[in-house]
Chains A and B, each alone.
Chain A
Amino acid sequence: MLLKTLTESFGLSGNEKEVRDIIIAEIKDYCTTIKTDRIGNIIAFKEGKPNSKRIMVTAHMDEVGLMVKDIDSSGLIKFIPVGGIDKRILVSKTVLIGNDKIPGVIGAKPIHLQKRNEWSNALNMSDLYIDIGAKSKEDAEKYVNIGDYVAFDSKYTEFGDNLVKAKALDNRVGCAILIDLIKNIEDISFYGVFTVMEEVGLVGAGPAAYEVDPDISIILEGTLCYDIPKLDSHMIPTYIGGGPAISLVDRTTVYNHKLRDRVVQVAKKNNIPHQFRKTAMGGNDSGRIHTSRDGSLTTTISVPCRNIHSPVSVMSLEDYNNTSKLVKALLYDFDEEGYNEF
């Protein structure tokens, strides 16, 4: 299954090659043109009927993780984060290092030797290290180099009622939906763009948008979800099972409300469950895209993911399917009347 392959492959920000190769192999026979640009973005064009607007659909390929920064004399490996990682989720996890995917574990001081108040403080990243079983610095250097990327070790697992657990759902879920669009939409012209380094500062999106020069962009994402009971509903960013989440505003974009209303209309017309993303926190490639050249319109449509940026992100396959449906419906909608006003 594509989502399994995509989430289990490695593509930390700046090191997206493995993911990029998978995507290119998947879509190359379905594109009119396809290229990898100078910074690693994939820019694919699919020609259909002529379209009054230049449409771009994007998803970032990269995922958060760690990078080796030092190896100590006993062969233990120190690291720095790549992208936004909550330091608290790292302890007692398994990881894979470098292109050879050397297994390692992030240990912790035994509880028996801790003072009671140590429990209440988060461990700093500088206190943590990866153990690959090496006996010395020289021994570790046979397998690991400074600068190696470190990914979470997490298998794609379906569980419960149509849910999936995986790493990197942010944003392989967007990649999977975009691949599916490129394969299955026949009669609409659009650009499909897979960007690099979103997680370290929306790096790839700017140059890609500059090159494509879109009028309207749809940014596909995996987004925050925290839907526990007894929380006021305005505090819940998205619900699992609530359908695609349509962004209102985040740290990088105030989304064009006319376009947003149109997205909602299309969802309603096609009976696709949908919800708003009710937090202003976070941000995505839209920030760079809508301000590229002389500006353009963007909308971000996301699949809700619990425990985002962790090895155990969780999403609903139903939300995935409904997001895919909504984006397809939107692409066909661009053919309809009403877009000249944008």
Chain B
Amino acid sequence: MSNLELLKLLSNHNGISGFESTLNEIIIPYFEKYADKVTIDKLGNIIALKKGSSSGESPKIMIAAHMDEIGLMVNDIEENGFLRFTSVGGIDPRTILGQEVIVHGKEDLFGVIGAKPPHLQDANEQNKAIKMKDMTIDIGLDCAKVKELVKIGDSITINRSLIELKNNRVAGKALDDRAGVVAMFECLKELSNLNHEADIYFVATVQEEVSMAGAITSTYRINPDIGIAVDVGFGTTPELDKADSLDLGKGPGITLGGNIHPGLRKKLVSTANEYNIPHQMEITVGPTGTDARAIQITREGIPALVLSIPLRYMHTSVELIDVVDIKHTGKLLAFFIKEISNENLEGLLCY
């Protein structure tokens, strides 16, 4: 199955932070095809191990991509059956007005997010954004029926199917960071044709969008020599500074900065150059907004790297990527992994 097909499955599937387990049925069978062992930890992280060729002690490399998505949560039920809600993760309230949603109650329920129509507003109100507290979700049922099926605390996701646009570009929800999960899968596939000494732990992490809880606990358990977060980076659009964004279709961003181990980063760049894999540079001086932030400070400290898939309109339901960047990311990861051996690891990690 192609990367696009897997991406479509993952994007269309639902799992906000803390509710990721519904994704297991998709991710586990895929990773089981190429991995030696797949486990789920106490917080719900999926950990797939691909053993290296080293006969003795193998270096351990952990790759993390988060499988959770931002979303909404029911926090009240009105007397006419309308739902009130709050957000889980960073959501610009302006992007959810007029959206279709699925309320994950006892069963999945279709609904729409509405607010006061403009005809009934003062002229000056129309220049203000509608606040989340002034929006309602209409699932078309009366209060008694709603209370049978929905409870406060149920999760809500935007109802969106992945859309194929021109030039291998696609738009959908939760590409942050299910695109990263697909890049890990691409890497795993690639590794089945390569000889690598290191043991590789692929982790589809939980709760990155709220606390990085999944990265914190899985890194502790695996205790890797190197941790790599595969996430998404801001794709270039007119309202963003060119210097602060990544072009679509030109390969992953390789992050530079305090969160990143400089020796490993140099190796990553030279690997990309050696194998002619397109890549770009991305600068974050302090902790990144990725799982690498948690990885770096686990136990006594772990050398970290970040690869970012360029993505436009982050944290909306029309996140947009070029699928070719997933391929480049997976390939770069695999060739980097191939380069790491017991012999050179110490040297690479030296300051």
Contacts and interface: CB of A to CB of B under 8 A. Distances in A.
Interface of A: 72, 74, 76, 84, 86-89, 91-94, 102-114, 119-123, 127, 129, 131-135, 139, 143, 154, 157, 159-163, 165, 224, 226-229, 235, 237, 279, 281-282, 306-312, 314
B50 interface: no
B167 A314 contact: no
B252 interface: no
A111 B313 contact: no
Contact of A228 (B80, B93, B139): B80
A314 B130 contact: no
28 contacts: A76-B238, A88-B126, A91-B95, A92-B318, A103-B163, A105-B165, A107-B313, A108-B313, A109-B237, A109-B240, A111-B315, A112-B90, A119-B92, A121-B129, A122-B127, A123-B94, A123-B129, A127-B239, A132-B165, A133-B170, A143-B166, A161-B145, A165-B112, A282-B119, A306-B114, A307-B114, A309-B117, A314-B114
A103 B160 CA distance: 14
A131 B165 contact: yes
Given A76-B238, A133-B320, A226-B120, A112 B114 contact: no
Interface stretch (B32-40, B96-104, B180-188, B260-268): B96-104
Given A132-B166, A165-B110, A281-B120, A105 B320 contact: yes
B238 A129 contact: yes
A133 B169 contact: yes
B164 interface: yes
B312 interface: yes
A248 to B, nearest CB: 15
B118 to A, nearest CB: 4
Nearest to A310: B98
Nearest to A102: B166
Contacts of A120: 128-129, 131
Residue from A91, A237, A281, A310 having most chain B Cβ neighbours under 10 A: A91
A112 B119 contact: no
A224 B117 contact: yes
B94 A312 contact: no
Given A89-B98, A110-B314, A110-B315, A307 B163 contact: no
Nearest to B249: A135
Contact of B118 (A86, A104, A111, A157): A86
Contacts of B114: 306-307, 312, 314
A279 B164 CA distance: 42
B159 to A, nearest CB: 9
Contacts of B160: 94
A105 B94 contact: no
B258 interface: no
A109 B126 CA distance: 20
A88 B163 contact: no
A39 B136 CA distance: 41
A94 B313 contact: no
A11 to B, nearest CB: 20
Contacts of B141: 160-161
Contacts of A88: 94, 97, 126, 129-130
A154 B161 CA distance: 11
B56 to A, nearest CB: 44
Contacts, number: 191
B111 interface: yes
Interface in B287-302: 289
A312 B135 CA distance: 14
B113 to A, nearest CB: 8
A119 B234 CA distance: 19
Contacts of A108: 92, 94-95, 313, 316
A135 B95 CA distance: 24
B1 to A, nearest CB: 22
Contacts of B239: 109, 127
B314 A121 contact: no
Residue from B93, B141, B237, B320 having most chain A Cβ neighbours under 10 A: B237
Contacts of A237: 120
A314 B140 contact: yes
B202 interface: no
Given A105-B171, A134-B167, A279-B119, A312 B100 contact: yes
B116 interface: yes
B156 to A, nearest CB: 14
B138 interface: yes
Residue from B78, B120, B126, B169 having most chain A Cβ neighbours under 10 A: B120
B127 A91 contact: no
Nearest to B171: A105
Given A108-B92, A229-B82, A314-B138, A122 B126 contact: yes
Contacts of A132: 165-166
Given A157-B110, A163-B140, A307-B98, 12 more contacts: A72-B238, A89-B97, A107-B312, A109-B237, A110-B313, A120-B128, A120-B129, A133-B165, A281-B119, A282-B119, A308-B117, A310-B98
A119 B129 contact: yes
A123 B82 CA distance: 27
Given A123-B94, A226-B116, A92 B166 contact: no
A81 to B, nearest CB: 12
Contacts of B92: 108, 111, 114, 119
A312 B289 CA distance: 34
B41 interface: no
Nearest to A94: B163
B213 interface: no
B126 A86 contact: yes
Given A92-B316, A94-B318, A103 B165 contact: yes
B165 A113 contact: no
Given A92-B96, A312-B98, A113 B117 contact: no
A89 B126 CA distance: 11
